[in-house]
């Protein structure tokens, strides 16, 4: 029986969260090997759904098969990555300080490790129906950390979400995990999301989506009698610096590269490069013309759903009617219900004086900002809010001339790219997917990579605890054979 | 010139925070060796203040010389501990994933490390005029992490705070650190604190003190247009379980131990054991009598200031006038302006039905809760909110009979103590000083130990960045010789 439940009332939410808390008290005790096997089984069950999953998602999202196959692979890979993390064990940050009885005052034996927070509520994204949704990074990392999970299905892909939830349910049964360690709910109103965040058992929230949605959940959580952490990964305009020497040498190549990145997946990535910033020059003119020509040749394509298409057209129109903004591309192909890619242009001075131009236009769109000099370029760059990424297209000469740019970049974003495009988020230990607000509500965490688990756990220490009462991770003999900090020396 | 400044207006706050941000842009670039030398110099300068510091603080806080000497030692030790952490370097969580060009799609080179958030505003505690105040753990960890610091002096020890600030200023000058990397302000109104938290350059807040104060700062921070992290370490009742077999064997010893802990430093520790929970038995009766007798022999002593004494008497009186509450000690010694220690008693059922008994009574006071059976004991224990600590006095037999207690303990508190007292917080890598709300506003962090630095930093990753443009911590040749994660393998 897949645990998909349509909830319409507060008592139903209480029941779901009560069940999640009951399951949590069992689930948190399950050892790392069994928890890892559970995550691996989820990956297997998702793969076992086969073509029906891909076809269902194609119908619901307009995303092409190749993209969905890739995203499914990433989703199952993430599950297996967290399983591997559990088996390896150093993520627990186990740390032992031995007693020093002769110290004055005597130093007690103290041992620390991470423990799960409790039930986590996950709101998935529409643009990643697998990798940031029902069995996505938030769910995988929370289950890995020992938290139970309640996913509120995204209304744009309910069938996909239910199929994935059924696969997870099969894994729960196969691995004999506690009932309700994962639950899947369908909420029919905005109030359901709010109530899920504010239910007393809810211990943390993961969200991927719009700024307005992510901020609303954050606000619901912080006014609770007992506030809880919210990890909202929100919009980003991902500013790109186009430096003069790089443009002088490679304007055409860079333009072609960026035409691909701007229109990849109909521009529906949170890392889509929305602001291109350069100083007026011959190189920038070449870049402009090449980019516009390339964009004109990209066929309009269907977006995820009509709501996203409407928002794209409205937001783009708001930008285009702003003082000083013009279009430099001219893509006139008309496909019904499809989003035409577009490049707009504005001078630095007009960008700086029109706040609305700093807002994300989610879709295959970018605004080229032409600055009068490098000082104005830096002003434009640092005038935008916190970002998931910022990219610099620059030659060695550019960086010699402007050595301060690297340091500035780390102030602006969670990920700094050199001579590349921000679309494409590698899943690995060094990845940071997050950034200063409003890229995310807590810049201290990443939503991608094994460190994503750190959002759902907290440290506990045990003082003078007899060895047989300690969790295995902290026992003197190290039965789990994990790397631990011993007396302040890392990773013995 | 010591940077102590009395601020009374919003433009003055803007100026202070502007200066802090300007200093931050320089200070964050300073290498670990120089930053470590700065912290060490602060420790030296505090020691160089000599007797005048101790005498000033004695006058301001009524704390005895021995306690202040100990606390000063802890404060300078913390500075040197963070200096050692900087030199060792693994705290940066540097992580390198090498490119795999042949992967499809190609894996880029990605390298991650922690960077400072920005200017941190610190509100110190009255009960630790050194170790949790002007040069306390928040200031030390923030400066270590590369943040600049603005301390709002605690009004209860302004002279002490100004002396310490002058010592830090000397260290700034000696080490040629950026002006304003540390600032010390005296605010004359409640609004000043609020405005400091809400000033746009403020990037994070550290607070140690009351629940009402800590929650207020949290609320100011979370309603900002750009919310910032607040680490408030607030009140705690630190519940203690007195299990039956342990009492049957050692009631008198345990009672004597706890009489000392409850009255240590006139009960003015956030880890003071305020709730003692046991099941009615002969052992508990012995414990009760021994504890009461011991408490009756402790001389009343002056608290930190009259406000704290008044609050102690009011809060105690609120507890004592609650249904079912009686006093079991009888300390009639009267010292003017001094707090008499006291033990109150209530039955489990009355505790469970009177919410106000769960509130902290800051001072030399504890409430003994006598339960009808172990089930009621567990109900009482889990009915209290999140705690800094919880202690269990139990024998092997007790734990064999109640194996679930250890797991329950980790749900309740950040630190779990076995057969000991919670007062006394060891400063070491494994220490967790924090806990579920309302012990702190973010249970994912500790306020004590080297991990306290993690509150003030965030990760940044660099993608395909030429080696010479990377921060030293991420360069391929590892010039800092620090432990790093390489391709997902921890600490190579």
Is there a contact between B110 and A490 if contact means CB atoms under 8 Å apart? no
Contact list in A for residue B432 (CB cut-off 8 A) is 112, 459-461
User: pLDDT per residue over B167-202, tens digit each?
Assistant: 999 999 999 999 999 999 998 788 999 999 999 999
For the segment B439-452, the average pLDDT, to the nearest whole number, is 96
Does position B155 have pLDDT exceeding 70, yes or no?
A: yes
List the strands of the sheet with A275-279, edge to edge. Answer: A326-327, A342-347, A365-371, A275-279, A240-242, A387-393, A413-418, B457-463, B110-116, B95-97, B485-486
Contact list in B for residue A246 (CB cut-off 8 A) is none
Query: Which of left, alpha, beta for A75 (phi over 0: left; psi -120 to 50: alpha)?
Result: alpha
Which ranges of A353-416 does DSSP label H, i.e. alpha helix?
Answer: 374-383, 396-401, 405-412
Q: What is the pLDDT of residue A2?
A: 46
Interface of A with B in 223-252 (CB under 8 A): 223, 226-227, 229
| Beta carbons within 8 Å of A480's beta carbon, 6+ residues apart | A32, A89, A472, A473
Beta strands in A182-302 (DSSP E): 182-187, 204-208, 230-233, 240-242, 275-279, 301-302
Does position B285 have pLDDT exceeding 50, yes or no?
A: yes
Contact list in A for residue B437 (CB cut-off 8 A) is 226-227
DSSP string, B110-126: EEEEEEE-S-EEEE--S
- CATH class of the domain whose range is A4-234+440-486: alpha beta
Catalytic residue among B45, B270, B360, B376: B270
Contact list in B for residue A142 (CB cut-off 8 A) is none
Q: What percent of chain B has pLDDT over 90?
A: 93
Interface of B with A in 462-491 (CB under 8 A): 462-466, 469, 483, 485, 487-488, 490-491
B343 in Cβ contact with B329 (< 8 Å): yes
**H helix count then E strand count, chain A:** 15, 19
Does position A380 have pLDDT exceeding 80, yes or no?
A: yes
> Which helix (H) or strand (E) segment is A338 a member of?
strand A338-339
Q: What percent of chain A has pLDDT over 70?
A: 99
The alpha-carbon gap from A134 to the nearest alpha carbon of chain B, in Å, equals 24
B270 is catalytic: yes
Search chain A and give the residue with CA nearest B422.
A463
Q: Determine the residue among A73, A459, A462, A489 to mutate to test chain B binding: the one whose Cβ has the most chain B Cβ atoms within 10 Å.
A: A459
Q: What is the pLDDT of residue A3?
A: 60
Is there a contact between A463 and B420 if contact means CB atoms under 8 Å apart? yes
- Select from A489, A485, A425 the least CA-distant residue to A96: A485
Search chain B and give the residue with CA nearest A447.
B459
For A87, other C-beta atoms within 10 Å of its C-beta total 14
Task: State the Cα–Cα distance between residues B183 and A356, nearest whole angstrom.
Answer: 36
- DSSP class of residue A215? H
The alpha-carbon gap from B385 to the nearest alpha carbon of chain A, in Å, equals 9
Task: State the Cα–Cα distance between residues A385 and A232, nearest whole angstrom.
Answer: 15
State the number of CA atoms in the 13 A half-sphere of A10 facing the CB. Answer: 6
Flag whether residue A324 sits within 8 Å of chain B, measured between CB atoms.
no
Flag whether residue B22 sits within 8 Å of chain A, measured between CB atoms.
no
C-alpha triplet A431, A437, A440: angle, nearest 5°: 50
Task: State the Cα–Cα distance between residues B143 and B74, nearest whole angstrom.
Answer: 17
The alpha-carbon gap from B488 to the nearest alpha carbon of chain A, in Å, equals 6
Is there a contact between A465 and B416 if contact means CB atoms under 8 Å apart? yes
Catalytic residue among B45, B71, B233, B360: B233
Tokens for A242? Answer: 């186009």
Q: What is the pLDDT of residue A490?
A: 76
Locate CATH 3.40.605.10 in chain A: 4-234+440-486
Is there a contact between B463 and A88 if contact means CB atoms under 8 Å apart? no
Interface of B with A in 104-163 (CB under 8 A): 105, 107-108, 110-112, 115, 117
> Which helix (H) or strand (E) segment is A122 a member of?
strand A120-123
Contact list in A for residue B90 (CB cut-off 8 A) is 490-491
For the segment B349-366, the average pLDDT, to the nearest whole number, is 96
At A88, is the secondary structure helix, strand, or coil? helix
Distances (CA, A) of B73 to A113, A439, B182: 28, 42, 21
B233 is catalytic: yes
Q: What is the pLDDT of residue B334?
A: 72
User: pLDDT per residue over B57-92, tens digit each?
Assistant: 999 999 999 999 999 999 999 999 999 999 999 999
Task: State the Cα–Cα distance between residues A435 and A446, nearest whole angstrom.
Answer: 8
Strands B120-123 and B204-208: parallel
Contact list in B for residue A112 (CB cut-off 8 A) is 429-432
Q: What is the pLDDT of residue A337?
A: 79
Does position B1 have pLDDT exceeding 90, yes or no?
A: no
Does position B8 have pLDDT exceeding 80, yes or no?
A: no
DSSP string, A282-326: HHHHHHHHHHHHHHHTSPPEE-SSHHHHHHHHHHHHHHHTSTT-E
Contact list in B for residue A437 (CB cut-off 8 A) is 226-227
**What is the count of residue pairs from A and B with beta carbons less than 8 Å apart?**
205
Distances (CA, A) of A476 to A482, B10, B415: 12, 55, 19
Which residue of A28, A417, A469 is in closest CB contact with B418?
A: A469
Is there a contact between A218 and B219 if contact means CB atoms under 8 Å apart? no
For the segment B248-266, the average pLDDT, to the nearest whole number, is 97
Mean pLDDT of chain B: 95
Flag whether residue A444 sits within 8 Å of chain B, measured between CB atoms.
yes
For A9, other C-beta atoms within 10 Å of its C-beta total 11
C-alpha triplet A138, A139, A144: angle, nearest 5°: 100
Contact list in B for residue A88 (CB cut-off 8 A) is 490
Task: State the Cα–Cα distance between residues A443 and A387, nearest whole angstrom.
Answer: 10
Q: What is the pLDDT of residue A90?
A: 92
Interface confidence (ipTM) of the complex: 0.95
Contact list in B for residue A390 (CB cut-off 8 A) is none
Q: What is the pLDDT of residue B3?
A: 60
Q: What is the pLDDT of residue A295?
A: 96
Q: What percent of chain B has pLDDT over 70?
A: 99
Cβ-based burial of B334 (10 A; exposed 0-12, middle 13-18, buried ≥19): exposed
The alpha-carbon gap from B429 to the nearest alpha carbon of chain A, in Å, equals 6
Is there a contact between A96 and B416 if contact means CB atoms under 8 Å apart? no
Does position B490 have pLDDT exceeding 80, yes or no?
A: no
Locate CATH 3.40.309.10 in chain A: 240-418
Interface of A with B in 192-221 (CB under 8 A): 218-219
Mean pLDDT of chain A: 95
The alpha-carbon gap from B229 to the nearest alpha carbon of chain A, in Å, equals 8
Is there a contact between A88 and B490 if contact means CB atoms under 8 Å apart? yes
Interface of A with B in 369-388 (CB under 8 A): 385-386
Does position B457 have pLDDT exceeding 50, yes or no?
A: yes
Question: Per DSSP, what are the bridge partners of residue B111?
Answer: B96, B462
For the segment B347-351, the average pLDDT, to the nearest whole number, is 98
Q: What is the pLDDT of residue B231?
A: 98
pLDDT band at B2 (very low <50, low <70, confident <90, very high): very low
Tell me the pTM: 0.96
- Select from A235, A214, A243, A363 the least CA-distant residue to A303: A363
User: pLDDT per residue over A431-482, tens digit each?
Assistant: 999 999 999 999 999 999 999 999 999 999 999 999 999 999 999 999 999 9
Q: Higher confidence at residue B104 or residue B151? A: B151
Q: What is the pLDDT of residue A491?
A: 67
At A460, is the secondary structure helix, strand, or coil? strand
Which ranges of B155-241 does DSSP label H, i.e. alpha helix?
Answer: 158-174, 190-198, 211-222
B273 in Cβ contact with B262 (< 8 Å): yes
Is there a contact between A428 and B97 if contact means CB atoms under 8 Å apart? yes
Domain B240-418 has CATH 3.40.309.10: yes
């Amino acid at each position: 029986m897949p645990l998909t439940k349509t909830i319409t009332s507060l008592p139903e939410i209480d029941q779901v969260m009560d069940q999640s808390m009951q399951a949590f008290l069992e689930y948190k005790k399950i050892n790392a090997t069994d928890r890892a096997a559970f995550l691996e089984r989820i990956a297997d069950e998702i793969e076992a759904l086969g073509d029906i999953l891909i076809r269902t998602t194609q119908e619901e999202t307009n995303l092409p098969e190749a993209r969905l196959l890739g995203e499914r692979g990433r989703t199952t890979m993430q599950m297996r990555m967290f399983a591997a993390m559990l088996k390896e064990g150093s993520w627990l940050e186990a740390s032992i300080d031995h007693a020093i009885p002769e110290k004055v005052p005597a130093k007690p034996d103290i041992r620390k490790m991470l423990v799960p927070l409790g039930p986590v509520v996950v709101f998935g994204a529409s643009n990643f129906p697998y990798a940031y949704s029902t069995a996505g990074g938030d769910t995988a990392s929370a289950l890995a950390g020992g938290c139970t999970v309640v996913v509120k299905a995204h209304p744009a892909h309910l069938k996909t979400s239910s199929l994935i939830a059924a696969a997870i349910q099969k894994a729960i049964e196969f691995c004999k995990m506690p009932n309700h360690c994962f639950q899947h709910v369908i909420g029919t109103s905005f109030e359901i999301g709010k109530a899920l965040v504010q239910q007393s058992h809810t211990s943390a929230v993961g969200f991927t989506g719009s700024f307005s949605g992510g901020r609303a959940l954050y606000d619901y959580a912080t006014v609770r009698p007992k506030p809880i952490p919210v990890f909202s990964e929100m919009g980003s305009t991902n500013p790109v610096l186009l430096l003069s020497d790089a443009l002088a040498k490679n304007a055409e190549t860079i333009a072609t590269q960026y035409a691909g990145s701007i229109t990849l997946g109909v521009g529906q990535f949170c890392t889509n490069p929305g602001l291109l910033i350069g100083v007026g020059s011959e190189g920038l003119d070449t870049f402009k013309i090449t980019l516009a020509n390339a964009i004109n040749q990209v066929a309009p394509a269907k977006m995820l759903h009509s709501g996203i298409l409407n928002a794209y057209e409205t937001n783009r129109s708001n930008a285009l009617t702003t003082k000083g903004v013009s279009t430099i591309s001219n893509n006139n192909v008309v496909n019904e219900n499809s989003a035409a890619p577009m490049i707009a242009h504005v001078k630095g001075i007009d960008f700086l004086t029109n706040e609305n131009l700093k807002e994300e236009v989610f879709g295959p769109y970018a605004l080229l900002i032409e600055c009068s000099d490098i000082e104005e370029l830096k002003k434009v760059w640092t005038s935008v809010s916190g970002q998931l990424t910022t990219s610099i297209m620059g030659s060695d000469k550019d960086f010699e001339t402007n050595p301060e740019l690297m340091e500035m970049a780390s102030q602006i974003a969670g990920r700094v790219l050199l001579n590349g495009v921000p679309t494409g988020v590698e899943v690995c230990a060094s990845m940071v997917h997050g950034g200063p607000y409003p890229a995310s509500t807590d810049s201290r965490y990443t939503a991608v990579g094994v460190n994503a688990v750190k959002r759902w756990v907290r440290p506990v220490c045990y003082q003078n605890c007899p060895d047989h009462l300690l969790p295995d991770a902290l026992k003197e003999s190290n039965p789990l054979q994990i790397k631990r900090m011993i007396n302040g020396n890392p990773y013995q």
